[in-house]
Structure 1
């Protein structure tokens, strides 16, 4: 992959990662939702999720360090206990898929995540016990085999009653643990060549400054406006991925 990527494509990915990092600094998510349509024609369907998984290690680690005092260990452990094996299974399943099918699945998940997030938001403070365990397992499968599912985890945490910095910190901690396992599965399956690590590092480094610019650039928008803009962008990106997947040769 590395030999086939041009400087212009690297620049495009860096720019989009920066914009995604800026969005993520306000909403708590961004790269996994916005980058798949950009990465797919550059690195190929099989590399999209592994590349984003590696780059997420950097972003989640930094967020966890920054908000460590607000980390909710009890909820994190409960979700991880059920999401961890499911995430490994989802990542393994991803390595068995064909390129076109991968695009369709990722695009469909991105689109379905929009109403799923709104449904979970309406459950604020009411998700616990077995419901939380089931949500954790379901999220684990999605997280392991697709990209852009951070929006689902944040919605799950909001549905448990967490707010503000506690959501950001707990999301980062859970995502970091699951991403380590996910990356481990991809390494074992040979799905992470050196070129994918290079692209992931570029994304991680480019997205970091965007976090610090986030409040200045997006501070004038309301939370509702952020959600609406994100929904539109994600829906368009999901549709693009589905069309690309359906056009791919069998």
Structure 2
């Protein structure tokens, strides 16, 4: 399906990626949650998660470099140790799904990510050791098999007691390592064509200036207002994808 993508489609994806970059710069998450609904009808369900996985590596590399001094190696190592194998398992499972099954999985995860984030937010400072590792293993499985799970990792790190730049840096470092494994699995399974790489790089490049623009916009609305708007958009997008997938499975 990627072979049928027109210049207009590329322009539309770049515009949405730019907006998603702004959302990510304001709230700490956004691109992985907002891109699937626009990408699915353009590139097909099977290509969505591999494309987002590659584009996320670009953004995570820049975030880790920018906030490297705040990186928490101990908590990052705990999460990575248990999340690496489950992330690879989730990515492999994704390659075995049909297009309709992919739509249902992505849609369901998008909708569930919001209540999970709020629940983990109430555990701030109380998640460590075995609890952090258990949460990391579950996150790895989710990350490997779908998109938009960055909000879950952010919430896990907040629940573990990190805040501010430490959350951003540690999230980026963990996501970069797990993302590399995820991309390797997709590449080995033939889920990443040259056209997919082009689309992924376009998204990563288009989202970058949005992050810097977010610095100017962050003061216009409260953080809570931004998050509520993004939550509503994500839930709506997840519902649409889930209904589309269920309709296709029923046919």
Between 78-87 and 214-223, report the one with greater CA deviation.
Answer: 214-223
Aligned residue number for residue 99 of structure 1? 99
Aligned 1:183-198 pairs, distance under 5 A: 183-198=183-198
Q: Check if 1:241 corresponds to 2:241.
A: yes
Please name the residue that 2:205 is paired with: 205
* Partner of residue 111, structure 1: 111
Q: Specify the alignment match of 2:140 in structure 1.
A: 140
How far does residue 226 in structure 1 lie from its aligned partner after superposition?
1.6
Note the 1:16-55 alignment, pairs <5 A: 16-55=16-55
Match for residue 156 of structure 2? 156
Q: Equivalents in 2 of 1:88, 1:46: separation in Å?
A: 17
Instruction: For residue 129 of structure 1, report the CA deviation from its aligned partner.
Output: 1.3
**Cα deviation code 1:159-213 (max 9, x no counterpart):** 0110000000000000000000000000000000001001001100100000110
Paired with 2:148 and 2:2, the residues of 1 have a C-alpha distance of 24
Give the distance between the partners of 1:180 and 1:220, measured in 2 at CA. 36
Q: Deviations over 1:213-249 (max 9, x none)?
A: 0022232111111211111011001011112212225
Structure 1 length-normalised TM = 0.98
Determine the structure 1 residue equivalent to 2:214: 214
Structure 1 residue 29: Cα displacement = 1.4
Conserved? CA contact 2:124–2:159, under 8 Å:
yes
Is there any run of 5+ residues in structure 2 with no aligned partner, and where? Answer: none
Question: How many angstroms apart in 2 are the aligned matches of 1:2 and 1:152?
Answer: 29
Q: Which has the larger displacement, 21-30 or 233-242?
A: 21-30
CA contact (8 A) 2:2 2:44 kept: no
1-structure distance, mates of 2:131, 2:221 = 33
Q: Structure 1: how far apart are the matches of 2:3 and 2:83?
A: 36
Q: Normalized against structure 2, the TM-score is what?
A: 0.98
